[in-house]
Amino acid sequence: MFENFDWIQAMRNSPVMLVILGCSVATFGFALERLMYFWKRRGHPDQVLSGALERIRAGNLKEAAWVCTTSAHPVGAVAKTVIESPHLPTESVEEKMQIALSEQKLQLERHLGWLGTMGNTAPLIGLLGTVWGIMRAFHDMARTGSAGPSVVAAGIAEALFTTAAGLVVAVPAVMLYNHFVRRTQVMLTVSENHARTIRIAMEQERVNQKARGNAGDPAARSTQMVEAA
């Protein structure tokens, strides 16, 4: 079907195809960059959670923060923010956690706007090429005074070619955009849930330490006995 099609000549005759070609190269570059970025940041959030909880229950917050630092997954940065705020009120810890989540969201969503834009505009650019090709076909008809197939074939071929090229760029862009958006939501949700679990564990450990301290204080025991009587 395409073995006899002159691709180079079609590119030269259609300025719209040059635009689509530039968009396709940029889309491929941003998609490849995002694929590599998400691959590097996939991490192991469940292992980070278990390791941090183990050290929190042992009373070693510095090691728990170090475990979070070694993770490339967003849960590492978010949980580290929670662990480094053991004496702040719950509202302040919540605010710091939301700020950390927002920072991670900005990093994960970088360049996704380009993929979304290409998914929406590439078909329109292809449609512009369709109109351009039809205009060329009518121009050739008017110039030659004939409406034979050989006269209008070049314009019609250009119209269909640019339409197909626009769709070829748009479909992968939309698929990758939806994949990355879904992946971003999952990573941020896991990060928030794990960070909240760590915060609850820290609060529980603080209560346990206070209870152990009161149990070892004779004055506190006397006060408890008097209150019980």
| Domain spans, the chain | 12-207
For the chain, give the percent of residues with pLDDT over 90: 48
27 C-beta neighbours (distance < 10 Å), count? 22
Distance, in Å, from the CA atom of 114 to the CA atom of 32, rounded to the nearest integer, reads 13
pLDDT level of residue 129 (50, 70, 90 thresholds): confident
pLDDT digits (tens, 9 = 90+) for 157-171: 777 888 888 999 999
Q: Given this model, what pLDDT does residue 32 score?
A: 95
pTM across the whole model: 0.79
> What is the four-CA torsion angle of 78, 84, 90, 94, rounded to 10 degrees?
-20
Q: Given this model, what pLDDT does residue 96 score?
A: 93
Distance, in Å, from the CA atom of 54 to the CA atom of 74, rounded to the nearest integer, reads 20
Q: Give the closest residue to 111 by CA, choosing from 19, 28, 17, 190.
A: 28
Q: Given this model, what pLDDT does residue 229 score?
A: 41
Angle between helices 15-40 and 112-144 (to 10 degrees): 160
Q: Given this model, what pLDDT does residue 198 score?
A: 92
220 C-beta neighbours (distance < 10 Å), count? 12
In this structure, which amino acid lies at residue 221?
A: R
pLDDT level of residue 1 (50, 70, 90 thresholds): very low
78 C-beta neighbours (distance < 10 Å), count? 27
Check pLDDT > 60 for residue 225.
no
Check pLDDT > 50 for residue 60.
yes
